[in-house]
Amino acid sequence: MNKNLAFADYMVFIVYFVIVAGYGYSIYRKRKKNEHDAKAYFLAEGTLTWWAIGASLIASNISAEQFIGMSGEGFFLGIAVAAYEWIAAIALIIVAVWFIPVYLKNHIYTMPQFLKTRYNESVALIMAIFWLFLYVFVNLTSILYLGAVAINGIAGGGYLHTIMIGLSIFALLISLGGMKVVAYTDVIQVAVLIIGGLVTTYIALTTVGEYFGVGHNAIAGFKVLMHEAPEHFKMIIPKPTTGSTQIEINKYLTFPGLLSYLAGIWIINLNYWGCNQYITQRALGADLQTARTGILFAGLLKLLMPVIVMLPGIAAFVLYQGGHLPQLVGGKDGAYSAVLTFLPTGLKGLSVAALTAAIVASLAGKVNSISTIYTLDIHKKYFQKESSEKSQVYTGRIAVFAAMILAVLFTWNDLLGIGGVGGFTYIQKYTGFISPGVFAMFFLGMFWQRTTGWAAIVGVVMGFVLSVIFNELAPGWFGNETFLYTAYPNGKGGFEIPFHICMGLSFLFTMITMILISLGGPKVNPKAFILDKEMFKLKPQTTVLIVVTLLIIAALYVKFW
């Protein structure tokens, strides 16, 4: 159980690097004749297949915060955390059926462009600047920091800054080739991610089987998990009572049972998958059927993710409770790294490659989105209005370099304090405050023709203010028990409202306010999108994909309710 990597592990990792770099370069060479085509660079317009779109969506979504953070939540909460992935699959269906047709019909290439087209220039500029700051100083920095920390821990320590630079350079090599290179290398990345992740899960389950005397058998090991930790295989966290322990209360604060499904988890997923440049960019350059199929393919892959990122956490919990995981350090966030110590030489290298694939794909996708928003929505509009296609590509590449350099500078000594709160919590904290307002603005903008630009501005600001009030101030202002919420002791001397409930309340009041403001405007806003039934018609093969996904989700919930 040597924690450090051996020669064979490094060789496996080098082979992975050579394959991804070589394939990426071959894609770049093929598109070199279109090297200075801005839409080809930023969107790979018309060249991505459905499987490339789907794989790229997953590769960009799954990163260190999932491997480390969700595995840690599996250790703490159990299978309930899988709801993030399984509800995401339903959210992807909603995006594919209703959101993408609106974007494509109106030739939307960036999210700020959507806001300008539907509302006005002010809304678009405000959100473009906000998204750039969010992507650079929250998402990019946390992915880089948490990824470097995770791989450094597996490698035995002492290489944090070297790994940080290596991840940055690897991501830069991919992202400088444009969206097509990013998306097609993501196909390899997601294959490595899934294979390496499944190997880690298999080893974790067989290790449980061996330590609990049922043999070297993954299925038997899974049964041991269900027997030793039955509370970890319940999707719904029970509401605390007066006799609940602090740990039980903390679980509910993290995921408040059925109320999660009435509020926050839908806002998180629909905002992330439907109103996020980082994600939607992969589908915005394709035709409707290709985009839809790719998004639904990603939904099917999401169903598999809890097996890869959550089950190792539950296995770590059972092993730790049984005294078989003394190498666990750092609490729940150390669960995944602790499980990796059981992997034999060679396979450990494959798992590091899987983790690296997730990190690099996310970094490359993120900087590509940053360069797209900056170049098309800020630089071209306000600094160089007559810029050529070649100039736009050049500007995009400079933006890629600048974003990555900023990320390295701010994570070098953890200036943002990401390590103190954890990468997963850091991302949720700073993106969650704005999600209710942003989603309300997009949702009403798409599907209610009366929504006004003034209502959109008020909605974004109000969504943020209400999120701060409900998350930080409401218990002190209004008490711990009201008709809207119940606040619970957080074990730190204060009281908290579950985060998902805060998001739901913020979204509800933001929607009401935006509707009331818009009622003062014309019945049909001049900038409203024209919708027709033909946009939302589905082909038989699309319907089949949707039905299969929903049946699998229903079966999972019936089994683990």
One domain for residues 444 and 491? yes
Would you say residue 62 has pLDDT above 90? Answer: no
Within a domain: 437: yes
pLDDT at 539: 93
Predicted TM-score (pTM) of this structure: 0.86
One domain for residues 519 and 541? no
pLDDT at 421: 54
Would you say residue 198 has pLDDT above 60? Answer: yes
Lowest pLDDT segment from 23-32, 116-125, 145-154, 245-254? 23-32
One domain for residues 288 and 380? yes
Share of the chain above pLDDT 70, in %: 93
Structural domain including 438 reads: 433-530
Phi, psi of 495 (to 5 degrees): -125, 145
Looking at every residue in the chain, the average pLDDT score rounds to: 86
Mean pLDDT of 10-36: 75
Total number of domains constituting the chain: 2
Nearest to 73 by CA among 310, 260, 312: 310
Would you say residue 92 has pLDDT above 90? Answer: yes
d(CA 124, CA 531): 22
One domain for residues 450 and 501? yes
One domain for residues 547 and 522? no
One domain for residues 275 and 298? yes
Which CATH number does the domain housing residue 163 bear?
1.20.1730.10
pLDDT at 426: 66
Share of the chain above pLDDT 90, in %: 37
Residue 493 DSSP one-character state = S
Within a domain: 469: yes
Would you say residue 447 has pLDDT above 60? Answer: yes
pLDDT at 1: 40
d(CA 361, CA 329): 27
Within a domain: 24: no
Q: Determine how many CB atoms are found less than 10 A away from the CB of residue 233.
A: 16
One domain for residues 437 and 304? no
Within a domain: 540: yes
Would you say residue 475 has pLDDT above 80? Answer: yes
Nearest to 426 by CA among 434, 417, 435: 417
One domain for residues 505 and 556? no
Query: Higher-confidence residue: 355 or 297?
Result: 297
Would you say residue 302 has pLDDT above 60? Answer: yes
pLDDT at 2: 45
pLDDT at 466: 95
pLDDT at 4: 65
**Chain centre distance of CA 55:** 14
pLDDT in tens, 325-357: 877 766 777 788 788 888 888 788 887 888 887
pLDDT in tens, 79-89: 998 998 999 99
Mean pLDDT of 126-137: 87
pLDDT in tens, 493-504: 899 999 889 999
Mean pLDDT of 509-521: 95
From residue 521, alpha-carbon distances to 453, 515, 516, 517, 528 in Å are 10, 10, 10, 8, 12
Residue 414 DSSP one-character state = T
Mean pLDDT of 207-221: 89
pLDDT in tens, 171-180: 888 777 776 7
d(CA 111, CA 488): 37
One domain for residues 523 and 537? no
pLDDT at 150: 77
pLDDT in tens, 148-173: 877 887 777 778 889 899 999 888 88
Task: Look up residue 116 and give its two tokens.
Answer: 């300008």
One domain for residues 207 and 67? yes
One domain for residues 539 and 489? no
Within a domain: 2: no
Mean pLDDT of 25-49: 65
Within a domain: 526: yes
Within a domain: 35: no
d(CA 400, CA 158): 28
pLDDT in tens, 266-291: 998 999 899 887 777 778 878 899 99
Q: Which residue has the tokens 């794909």?
A: 361
One domain for residues 223 and 95? yes
Within a domain: 267: yes
